[in-house]
Amino acid sequence: MDRKTTETEGRIEAVLARALAVGTWLISAVIAAGLLLSFFPARMPYAWQVVMIGIGLFVLLPITRVILMLALFAGIREYKFAAVAGLVLAIILASLVIGVLYK
């Protein structure tokens, strides 16, 4: 493994870590806002829906990571890793479709 490969791997890991950290903080803020709004039910009757949206976004965060990995690996021409990320994404989407069709 040469130095360029190590630097590229480090940049990919840094981008992924940053994206997950920022996403986690933003989604946590959405959930916190929903919880704060729930203290004022007369003014904001849909506060729990804000919380549920935040939880749904937490579920989507790993899927976003796979999409980001696919884009990053394709961008640096690591097609084997991009193919694996694409396969993982296809499996996730297939399970989503099966779950929706066969409740």
| Confidence tier at 3 by pLDDT (50, 70, 90) | low
- Looking up tokens 């690591």 gives 78
| Confidence tier at 17 by pLDDT (50, 70, 90) | very high
**pLDDT of 82-101, one tens digit each?**
999 999 999 999 999 999 99
Instruction: For 45, list phi and psi in degrees, rounded to 5.
Output: -70, -10
For the chain, percent of residues with pLDDT exceeding 90: 70
- Tell me how far apart the terminal alpha carbons of the chain are, to the nearest angstrom: 47
Residues 41-70 have a mean pLDDT of 90
DSSP H or E stretch at residue 25: helix 3-37
Number of H helices, E strands in the chain: 3, 0
93 — alpha (psi -120 to 50), left (phi > 0) or beta?
Answer: alpha
Whole-structure pTM value: 0.78
Q: Which of 3-7, 17-21, 36-40 is the least confident region? A: 3-7
